[in-house]
Amino acid sequence: MFSLKDLKEYDSTLQILKGDDSLKFESITDSRELRSDCILFLKNKKHFLKLKDSLRDSMGAIIVEKKLHEKLDEEELKLLEKSFKTIALCDDASVSMSLLSKPFWDHRFSNLNEVVDGRQMGSDSIHPSAWIAQGAFIAQDVVIGEDVKIHSGVRILSGCVIGDGCEILPNAVLYPFTKLGKNCRIHSGTVIGADGFGYNFHQGKHLKVWHIGDVNIGDDVEIGANSCVDRGTFSATNIGNGTKIDNHVQVGHNVQLGCGVILCGHVAIGGSAVLGDFCVMGGKAAMGDNFTLGKGVQVAGGGMVNCDWPDGSIVGGHPARPIKEWMKGLAFVRKESLRKGDKK
C-alpha cells in the first residue's frame, strides 16, 4: 500500500490540493471499478464527463492533470472535492500513470515465487480428482477444482483459480491471478494474463504502463490455440459464460466480452472494447480501443470497427458500415472499374 507522499518519490510533479497525503491506498483503479481504497487518474474533459455520473461520496484519491484542472468550472471542482477524500495534481496524467503503476506492480507481483512448484511448498489447493501430467508447473497459491485436466508443458502461475471440469492443453500459460470458471478448455500455446500493450511516450522514451488488473473467464469458455487474452490495466479483463474464441485471436487489456460471444480466427480487439452478449466477429475482423458493440452485433470477416454499433447491427468493410451499404459500395466500385477498363 502507498500514500501520495510515498508516490512523490516516483513522480516529483505531484501536488496535494486536498486531503491527507499520508493516507494509504491499495491500488490504482479506473472509472469502471471505482473504489474507496484506490487512486484514479483524470486526464481530459471527455474522461471527466464519462466519470462524473458514477461519482459518489468518500471515494479514494484522484490525480488530475493540471491543464484539465484549470479548465474545470466551479461546479465541476466542487463535485471532485465532494467525491474524493484526496485530490492531487500532476503535470501529465499519462506519464504519471506510467511512473506510479510500477510500485503498485512491484507490490503485487515482485515477491511471487514462480520458480518452486506450489505442490512442493504445500501452498496449493488441488482436488484429488484433478489429472495433472508430468512436466506441468503449478506455482504458489493455485486452486484447482474437481476433474480438471492439465497437460504437459502447461504453466499455471501464482494465485490462479481453475474451476471444475476445465482442461488446459500442452504449453498453455496462465499468468498470475487468472481465474477460469467451470468446464473451460484452453488450447495449446495460448497465453492468458500477459500485460496489455500500454506505453506513454515521454522525453524520447516509451514509458510502460504496468498492468495490475486480472483476467476473469466465465463457465464453458473455449479458447483456441495460440490466442492471447491480456490482463487488465487496473481493472479486470472479463470473458462471459459460453464465449468461444478461435485460434490466433488477440483480446486486449480491459476488454469486456459478454456471454456467448464468437470470435473467429485472427480477430483482434483493442483495449477497453466492449462486446455484448452473442456478438460474432468473422475471421480477421478487428475492433479499435474503447468502442462498444451491442447485443447480437455481427461483424463480417475482415471488417474494421471504428465506432459504436447498437444491438443487432450487421456490419462489414473498412471502416465497418451496415452490411447492405457495404455490399452496394463494393458493387459500385466493381461496376465502375469494369466500365473504365472497357474504355481502355
Which of the residues are catalytic?
A: 253
Cell numbers at 39, concatenated: 487512486
Q: How far apart are CA 6 and CA 26, in angstroms?
A: 13
Contact indicator for 223, 229 with CB cutoff of 8 Å: yes
Amino acid at 245: I
What length does the chain have? 344
Strand order of the sheet with strand 15-18?
15-18, 84-90, 59-65, 38-42, 27-28
Amino acid at 151: H
Q: How far apart are CA 326 and CA 329, in angstroms?
A: 5
Which distant-in-sequence residues (6+ apart) come within 8 Å of 200 by Cβ?
94, 95, 97, 98, 206, 207, 209
Amino acid at 155: R
